[in-house]
A = this chain, B = another copy of it.
């Protein structure tokens, strides 16, 4: 099980510090949508270039212009890029055309109905991200969401999950053994001592 740490709503200086702290400890370092839109991938690459061990994800949330955006994002140094699951099937196919064994597509399923998921379920190399809507005022049970998703789509193998994950949720997700990647944001990046929190998550997820 992999730990992805998402950095959002930070300055470039704060992002640089967090990245130094996360490199080699988080499996995947995510540059969140807020960083992409505020500062752009060209600026983010100056930071991600210095990452030695962790993999790099830009949360670009492509909705149209799939070929251009995925080509651009991989050129700017990403190992993973995101596309919105409610984008057109054609757009998702064009994103997928830009991927390889080392450059992967993560499909963000925030608010995507099961019928639409079924239509885009055939990308065996893609990661399917079960994502709690950040703007929703009702708190959803992520463990239940994952269970339900797995029942609806038993053939989808590569699952990730995101949205307000704390240590307790991480522990349950590990026991559940359905997702490959857990995305943690504020619980680490907003902590008073991010390194301490990071290590707690690593212990819970990796058992060491």
B-binding residues in A (CB < 8 A)? 9, 33-34, 36-43, 60-61, 63-69, 72-73, 76, 84, 86-88, 90-91, 94, 110-111, 133-137
Contacts and interface: CB of A to CB of B under 8 A. Distances in A.
Given A63-B84, A91-B135, A42 B33 contact: no
Contacts of A86: 86, 111
B42 A38 contact: yes
28 contacts: A33-B64, A33-B65, A34-B68, A34-B69, A34-B72, A36-B37, A36-B40, A37-B37, A37-B60, A37-B73, A38-B41, A38-B72, A38-B76, A39-B42, A40-B43, A43-B43, A61-B63, A61-B64, A63-B84, A63-B110, A64-B110, A64-B133, A65-B134, A65-B135, A86-B86, A86-B111, A88-B135, A90-B135
Contact of A133 (B90, B110, B133, B134): B90
A110 B86 CA distance: 11
Contacts of A136: 88, 90
A65 B110 CA distance: 12
B34 A94 contact: no
Given A63-B84, A86-B86, A135 B37 contact: no
